[in-house]
Amino acid sequence: MGDIMSESHALITSLKHCLKERGISYQYIAEHLSISESSVKRTFSEETFTMSRLEQICALIDMSIYDLAKMSYVRSEGRQRVLSLEQEQVLAENENLFVCFHLVINAWCYEDILNHYDWSTASTIKLLTTLDKLKLIELLPGNKIKPLTSSIIQWRKNGPVRKVYEGRVREEFLKPAFTGKKELMSFETMEFSQASITIIIGKIVQLLKQIDELAEADMSLPNKLKSGCGLLFAIRPWVFSVVKKHIQH
């Protein structure tokens, strides 16, 4: 009974987190579900949700109970997002190991790696064993893989991985035109007050958190239902050199 209550509490905690991230208030929920705000507050306080009510609230944030459960599990695991300097260094020095780590934190199993990549069985086992020794995964009997980190890694700003890959990533990602059906890039230059810049940065941070949550929620989906995506968000004080050269000093 205690485990059930604990899992239920974790689920509600994750729901509160999602509502806060999206700026959804109890008043908003009450208005959209045609109930009193006091009733909403009492339900959250006492954690007395019916399945129907939970589904309705999840629908307000475009989530299902299943999405919420997966997110709750990941949050309860508390897996690391920042690797040690030694772990990053080893990954930076071995490209195959870096690729293998990318696959396993995105829920690729041993069989799928063998079927889709040009590594031999012995090479694949060696890569997984190395990740196990680095304490990035736990290699279980039958070559089952248990990731020990989050699927979202925060690479050190001046760390080994960024030094090796950041330049290549920028060139490969930005060079082709963004013309595909599932591609979008918009570059705008405008003038903002400092207050507006602060608001924009806050909204970008909020969106990134939501994207992280979606990535975590999708982690357990079959690989055939997912595709790799690159995301780039940036803002900085900047004036185009063509404009800047005409400014009087």
| pLDDT (tens place) for every residue of the chain, 249 residues total | 334 445 677 788 888 878 887 788 999 999 999 999 999 999 999 888 888 898 899 888 877 777 777 666 555 455 677 899 999 999 999 999 999 999 998 889 999 999 999 999 999 999 999 999 999 999 999 999 988 888 888 888 889 999 999 999 889 988 999 998 889 988 888 888 888 888 888 888 888 888 887 877 777 677 777 888 888 888 888 888 888 887 776
**For residue 22, what are its two tokens?**
């999206």
Burial category of 68 from C-beta neighbours within 10 Å (exposed 0-12, middle 13-18, buried 19 and up): buried
Q: Cα separation of 63 and 218, whole Å?
A: 12
Count of CB atoms within 10 A of residue 196's CB? Answer: 11
The whole-number pLDDT of residue 28 equals: 93
- Report the chain's C-alpha Rg in angstroms: 22
Q: Where are the domains of the chain?
A: 2-77, 79-175, 177-249
The whole-number pLDDT of residue 9 equals: 78
DSSP code at position 159? S
Indicate the SS3 state at residue 147.
strand
- Find the helix or strand (DSSP H, E) in which 68 lies: helix 65-77
For domain 79-175, give the CATH number. Answer: 1.10.10
The whole-number pLDDT of residue 78 equals: 55
Q: Which CATH number fits domain 2-77: 1.10.10, 1.10.260, 1.10.3470, 2.60.40?
A: 1.10.260
CA atoms within 13 A on the CB side of 144: 4
Residue 41 and residue 29 in contact, taking contact as beta carbons nearer than 8 Å: no
Contacts of residue 140, Cβ cutoff 8 Å, sequence gap at least 6: 146
Q: Cα separation of 100 and 184, whole Å?
A: 28
